[in-house]
Amino acid sequence: MPNRAFREIVTRLAPSVPGAPNVVVEQYVRDAAIEACERTLAWRYEQPQIRLNPGGHDYAYDPPDFSEVHAILTATVNGEKLTPISLEQLHDIYPKWPYVSSDEHSTPRYITSIDPDHFAVAPIPDANVVYDVRMIVALKPLRTAYEMDQTPLDDLENVIMHGALQHLLVLPDRTWSDRELASYHAKQFAYKLSERRARANLGTGRGSMRVQNQRFA
């Protein structure tokens, strides 16, 4: 999908904060977009396949430009499920990881996010099989981003507007400041975040839904 610029939302917000510089409004739009993506997990992305290296434990994500990974939603290795766990849980299971001998290398069963740029697997992959990882991740914009994927931005647009206004309207000594109105937008932001998170988890149907990778021959 194409990207959409944050400045398009700035245009919609301008009447609510008359006199506010566009660059300031865009900063708060970006911040609200980041928070909305973190809390709703609505920006979901299927990563290109990543091949594991024998003896290698950590790898770089491959997200689109101007974005970073916030969470791993699903992951498989050679079509078999990898269980996402925290780094602390991984060390509970494998206390010596990643400093293990080669005879302890095996088929990876767990995956963990080290930071927004890197993930790791355990056990460390052996050289007996070629291992390919596929995953679906939740993304968020970088602090330097000026745009993001159009589909999640369209879906979260009203949420982001409330999130930006709750902060813009409490900036001190501004002609557009309005604490009472800021409180309204803060409540709407919290409410709509919860609604979007539920929608992302359940989809448009009545039953629970989870994204599942397709197996490839």
Reply yes or no on whether the pLDDT at 65 is more than 60: yes
What does the pLDDT read at residue 200?
A: 74
Specify the length of the chain in residues: 217
Considering the domain architecture, whether residues 132 and 55 belong to the same structural domain is answered as: yes
Cβ neighbours around 29 below 10 Å, total: 29
What tokens were used for 91? 């060390």
What does the pLDDT read at residue 203?
A: 57
Q: Which residues pair with 44 in a beta bridge?
A: 138
In a domain, 207, yes or no: no
What does the pLDDT read at residue 206?
A: 38
In a domain, 124, yes or no: yes
* 31 vs 150: CA distance, rounded Å: 17
Reply yes or no on whether the pLDDT at 214 is more than 70: no
Output b/e per residue, 107-131; b: 16+ Cβ within 10 A: ebbbbbbeebeebbbbbbbbeeeeb
What does the pLDDT read at residue 198?
A: 87
Question: 3-class SS at 120?
Answer: strand
In a domain, 206, yes or no: no
Considering the domain architecture, whether residues 120 and 148 belong to the same structural domain is answered as: no
Considering the domain architecture, whether residues 103 and 64 belong to the same structural domain is answered as: yes
Cβ neighbours around 39 below 10 Å, total: 18
* 72 vs 3: CA distance, rounded Å: 22
Domain tally, the chain: 2
What does the pLDDT read at residue 204?
A: 44
Considering the domain architecture, whether residues 116 and 35 belong to the same structural domain is answered as: no
In a domain, 217, yes or no: no
**Span 19-40, mean pLDDT?**
97
Q: Which domain does 15 fall in, by range? A: 3-42+142-201
Out of 77-91, 125-139, 167-181, 198-212, least confident range:
198-212
Considering the domain architecture, whether residues 132 and 171 belong to the same structural domain is answered as: no
Q: Which residue, 140, 156, 176, sits at the end of a domain?
A: 140
What does the pLDDT read at residue 96?
A: 95
Considering the domain architecture, whether residues 66 and 136 belong to the same structural domain is answered as: yes
